[in-house]
């Protein structure tokens, strides 16, 4: 098993934390609002066949510069800077949820900088009657019900145990600030991009035709945070895109089904990247 090593690169907005490892064609992984990346078996599995680059977005982990990013425009320019800094011409881009939204924003604006696109439970759309559930005002325990098919997953259990603290200041016990800080920072960074419009870009649907890269959309069948029509919409409106479902999994697919997801992504990328040659 190939492990990822942490390093730092300097971008225009500041120092960015980067996990990197493996070898082969480059794959850029864009994380979700939970800021996953550390010890992610999914990325380790991808690193068997690819060079995996997993930057933390500003405001997440130890990455700086979120105060210079006000909206998705700024976020996409930051991704462009990252591609320059990392020397990537047109890597495969894999994004989960918020990261999927960022990936598709990059692919609509700069299609020739994305070699292949994998959207895992992506947000970014508003679909009437299939609204994305709230992430900014609910308790971790309520969130866990939408994020995991298996409520016994260690992260789901941890989220349920945090419910004593709630997502507000009405707490009855003193909690260590260090426990709250990364979660608060991650959600604050997400709010900058997705508070209003809520986790979507109203202009995105009319731009989806601009995506030219081979595209795979993956949905956890039991994802109740982002209803099924979202993945379907992307798959139907991006030319040539394919939709795959993974059973017994919800929103945080890379955590719940790392092997299955890595298998799907590896197979897709190997097929598409070899066809291009």
Partner 1 sequence: MRVFSFHLMPYPGLPGTYEGPAWVTCPNELFDPELGHRIYNRYLDELVYAEELGFDGVCVNEHHQNAYGLMPSPNLIASILARETQRVRIAVVGNALPLYDPPTRVAEEFAMIDNISGGRLIAGFVVGGGPEYYSFSINPAHARERFAEAHDIIIKAWTEPGPQEFIGKHYRLRFLNTWPRPLQRPIPEIWIPGAGSIETMEFVARHRYAYMGIPYFHRRVFERTFRMFRDACEREGYHADPMQSGWLTPIYVAGSDEQARAEFEPHFWYWVRKLLPGITITPPGYTSLRSLENQMKGAASFAVNLRTWDEVVEGRYAIVGSPDTVYAQLEECLTAFGTGNLLGLFQLGTLPAEETRRNLELFATEVLPRLRARFPEGHPVLDPDAEVR
DSSP secondary-structure letter at 39? T
Q: Site for partner 1 (CB under 8 A): how many residues? A: 25
Helix (H, G, I), strand (E, B) or coil at 53: strand
- In whole angstroms, what is the distance from residue 143 CA to residue 224 CA? 10
112 in Cβ contact with 212 (< 8 Å): yes
- In whole angstroms, what is the distance from residue 55 CA to residue 30 CA? 7
**Dihedral (C-alpha) 71, 198, 203, 227: value to the nearest 10 degrees?**
130
- Rounded to 5 degrees, what are φ and ψ at 242? -115, 145
* Token output for 245: 């479902």
The verdict on 68 binding partner 1 (CB under 8 A) reads no
In whole angstroms, the minimum distance from the beta carbon of 195 to partner 1 comes to 4
Kindly tell me which residue out of 136, 157, 210, 212 binds partner 1, with binding defined by CB under 8 A: 136
Kindly tell me which residue out of 87, 137, 152, 274 binds partner 1, with binding defined by CB under 8 A: 137
Kindly tell me which residue out of 89, 195, 236, 263 binds partner 1, with binding defined by CB under 8 A: 195
The verdict on 168 binding partner 1 (CB under 8 A) reads yes
The verdict on 202 binding partner 1 (CB under 8 A) reads no
> Using CB atoms within 10 A of its CB, is residue 120 exposed (0-12), middle (13-18) or buried (19+)?
buried
Buried b (16+ CB within 10 A) or exposed e, 132-143: beebeeebbbbb
The verdict on 129 binding partner 1 (CB under 8 A) reads no
Q: Mind spelling out the 3-state secondary structure of 185-243? A: HHHHHHHHHHCCCCCECCCCHHHHHHCCCCEEEEEECCCCCCCCHHHHHHHHHCCCCEE
Q: Which is nearer to partner 1, 181 or 206 (CB)?
A: 181
In whole angstroms, the minimum distance from the beta carbon of 92 to partner 1 comes to 31
- Rounded to 5 degrees, what are φ and ψ at 175? -105, 145
Kindly tell me which residue out of 158, 164, 180, 248 binds partner 1, with binding defined by CB under 8 A: 180
Kindly tell me which residue out of 3, 12, 161, 184 binds partner 1, with binding defined by CB under 8 A: 184
In whole angstroms, the minimum distance from the beta carbon of 57 to partner 1 comes to 14
* Token output for 246: 């993974």
The verdict on 62 binding partner 1 (CB under 8 A) reads no
Q: Which is nearer to partner 1, 80 or 191 (CB)?
A: 191
Residues 207-246, interacting with partner 1 (CB under 8 A) = none
Residues 69-88, interacting with partner 1 (CB under 8 A) = none
Identify which range of 4-12, 78-86, 142-150, 166-174 contacts partner 1 by CB under 8 A: 166-174
The verdict on 275 binding partner 1 (CB under 8 A) reads no
The verdict on 248 binding partner 1 (CB under 8 A) reads no
Q: Which is nearer to partner 1, 59 or 115 (CB)?
A: 59
Q: Which is nearer to partner 1, 185 or 266 (CB)?
A: 185
Could you list the residues that contact partner 1 (CB under 8 A)? Answer: 136-137, 167-175, 177, 180-181, 184-185, 187-192, 195-196, 198
């Amino acid at each position: 098993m190939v492990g990822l090593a942490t390093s730092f690169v300097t971008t225009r907005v500041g120092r960015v934390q980067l996990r990197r490892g493996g070898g082969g064609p480059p794959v850029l992984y864009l994380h979700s609002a939970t800021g996953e990346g550390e010890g992610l078996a999914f990325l380790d599995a991808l690193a068997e066949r690819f060079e995996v680059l997993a930057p933390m977005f500003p405001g997440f982990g130890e990455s700086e510069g979120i105060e210079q990013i006000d909206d998705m425009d700024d976020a996409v320019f930051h991704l462009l800077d990252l591609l320059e800094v990392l020397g990537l011409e047109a890597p495969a881009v894999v994004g989960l949820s918020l990261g999927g939204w960022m990936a598709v924003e990059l692919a609509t604006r700069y299609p020739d900088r994305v070699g292949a696109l994998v959207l895992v439970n992506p947000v970014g759309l508003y679909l009437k009657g299939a609204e994305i559930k709230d992430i900014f005002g609910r308790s971790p325990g309520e969130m866990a019900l939408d994020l995991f098919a298996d409520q016994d997953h260690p992260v789901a259990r941890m989220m349920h145990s945090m419910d004593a603290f709630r997502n507000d200041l009405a707490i009855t016990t003193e909690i260590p600030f260090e426990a709250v800080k990364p979660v608060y920072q991650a959600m604050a960074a997400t709010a900058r991009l997705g508070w209003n419009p809520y986790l979507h870009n109203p202009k995105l649907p009319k731009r989806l035709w601009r995506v030219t890269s081979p595209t795979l959309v993956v949905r956890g069948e039991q994802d109740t945070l982002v209803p099924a029509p979202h993945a379907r919409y992307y798959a139907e409106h991006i030319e040539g895109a394919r939709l795959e479902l993974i059973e017994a999994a919800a929103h945080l697919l890379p955590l719940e089904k790392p092997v299955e997801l890595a298998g799907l992504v590896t197979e897709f990328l190997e097929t598409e990247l070899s066809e291009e040659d």
